[in-house]
């Protein structure tokens, strides 16, 4: 095997580690992480090695690479104007580490009813 091919496969392997790490922090299991890593790495190597199918594989590769960085919960919270603390806590990733992001408890509801209308 030429040295260039080995270097290219290694570079693609390092690039695929970024979204795989993001999925790990989101709490995806070991088998899912391995499957994701292998599929995206194989797509990347196929696009790099064979330019003919690249026309069809590049859109799949882009979606598979960028999807872990798109967070639905935080994105919807930003669209709806909610502060980050209002989202329910995420489950912790494998290994027992606490989840990343805001983990503060919700503030208690403030009673704003005037004193003359409150129930005894």
State the Cα–Cα distance between residues 118 and 110, nearest whole angstrom: 13
Stretches where the chain sits below pLDDT 50 are none
State the Cα–Cα distance between residues 62 and 44, nearest whole angstrom: 10
pLDDT at 85: 55
Q: For residue 103, report the phi and psi dihedrals to the nearest 5 degrees.
A: -125, 15
State the Cα–Cα distance between residues 47 and 54, nearest whole angstrom: 5
pLDDT at 102: 56
Residues 6+ apart with CB under 8 A from 13: 41
Share the mean pLDDT of the chain: 78
Q: At what angle do helices 54-66 and 30-49 cross, to 10 degrees?
A: 150
pLDDT at 103: 58
pTM (2 decimals)?
Answer: 0.60
pLDDT at 75: 61
């Amino acid at each position: 095997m030429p040295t260039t091919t080995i270097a290219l496969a290694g570079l693609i392997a390092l690039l695929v580690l970024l979204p795989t790490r993001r999925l790990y922090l989101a709490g995806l299991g070991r088998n899912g992480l391995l499957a994701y890593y292998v599929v995206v790495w194989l797509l990347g190597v196929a696009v790099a090695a064979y330019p003919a199918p690249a026309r069809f594989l590049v859109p799949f590769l882009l979606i598979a690479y960028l999807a872990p960085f798109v967070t639905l919960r935080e994105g919807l919270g930003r669209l709806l104007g909610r502060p980050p603390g209002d989202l329910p806590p995420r489950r912790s990733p494998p290994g027992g580490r606490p989840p990343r992001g805001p983990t503060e408890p919700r503030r208690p509801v403030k009673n704003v009813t005037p004193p003359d209308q409150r129930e005894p």
